[in-house]
Amino acid sequence: MRRRWMFGAAAVVVLFGVSVLFLTERPLTVSVVQPEQDVALRIYGLGSVEARILSRVGFEVGAALTGLDADAGDRVIQGQALATLDPAVQEARVARARATVEANVAALTRAEATVGRARSMLAQREMANRRQQGLVQRDVTSIQRAEEAQRDEDVARADLAVAAADVAVIRAQGADATAALQQEEVLLARHQLAAPYDAVIVARHAEAGTVVRAGDPIFTLIAPETVWIQAYVDEERAGQLALGQPGTIRLRSQPQAEFKGIIARIGLESDRVNEERRIWLTCTDCPEPMYLGEQAEVRITTGNRNSALMVPEVAITGFDGHRGWVWLVQDGRLEQVELTFGARDDRGRIEVTGSLPDDAAIVARIPQGVTGGRRARTRTTP
């Protein structure tokens, strides 16, 4: 009995050892990456349709809206009337300012006449004074009369100076009245809202009869030729971006179509929370109309490789943006090595820039139970 028990135990140990040996030493089947030809390096970004020139236009004064001459979706040209405010109060102010200007003109005419009168009086006093001064020198008249004549001339000269000063004051008041009239006329003109440039109306924010305040938006306008795509790109990949790089654009409303774009601007400030960089692409063949705010996907072509070895990021451990560890199959066994990497693409792959050992292949998907030195069979990853 004891011998049977010992034989059974030995059989179990042998079976367990064979099983462990089979599980740990049997070759693993792993997928490996292969060099690719004509590889396009692309960066993915997600964004929306926006407009570089977008204006929310309104009146510089407040009043009741009496008319709206445009609606959302309309195309307008520069200077075209869009809306009108009730002008009654402002027209009264213009009339009052115009009356002030006319009153000033009359006052100026009167003051200038006073200057002419004072000038004539001065000429008369000067002549009388010269006559009296000549007579007193010949002892024909008294010194008192000569002094009175000199006094009369001085008074007449002072009166002329006062009259001239009055004219200057009235002219200054006239300039102020004219400026006030121009201001009121400008404000009256501001009761008409005109398109600041050739535009498409995106939205209308008020209706006739509404009392609006100065600065309240009445319409939202865009310059249609400035519509572009604003996209966000992960900072970790943004270093490959440059102005003028081509890209493809896919709109959410037309997922089956791809449109061509070019990077026109790269933001100088990244999003500090999402760690993304903003870029803007002009679209060369996008459909019309474009709808602001529509979601768009972009893929920017940052370069091309005649031949490249592209490794999935999930196959790299300890990656710091430049170096990382990968598993290799060499001489039929697995081995972990450190490599250097370069550009990325939009499929979650990174270009290998460091050299590989001869006859070695990089594992694309790391299986469970992988250990250094274990035997492996390879198959090419799709």
Mean pLDDT of 311-330: 86
3-state secondary structure of 159: helix
User: Helix, strand, coil % (nearest 5) of the chain?
Assistant: 35, 35, 30
3-state secondary structure of 110: helix
Length of the chain: 382
Backbone angles phi and psi of 167, in degrees to 5: -65, -45
Q: What is the pLDDT of residues 81-96, one digit of tens each?
A: 999 999 999 999 999 9
Q: What is the pLDDT of residues 209-243, one digit of tens each?
A: 999 999 999 999 999 999 999 999 998 888 889 99
Q: How confident is the model at residue 382 (pLDDT cuts 50, 70, 90)?
A: low
- Which one, of 32, 93, 49, lies nearest residue 297 by Cα? 49
What's the pTM value of the predicted model, to 2 decimals?
0.69
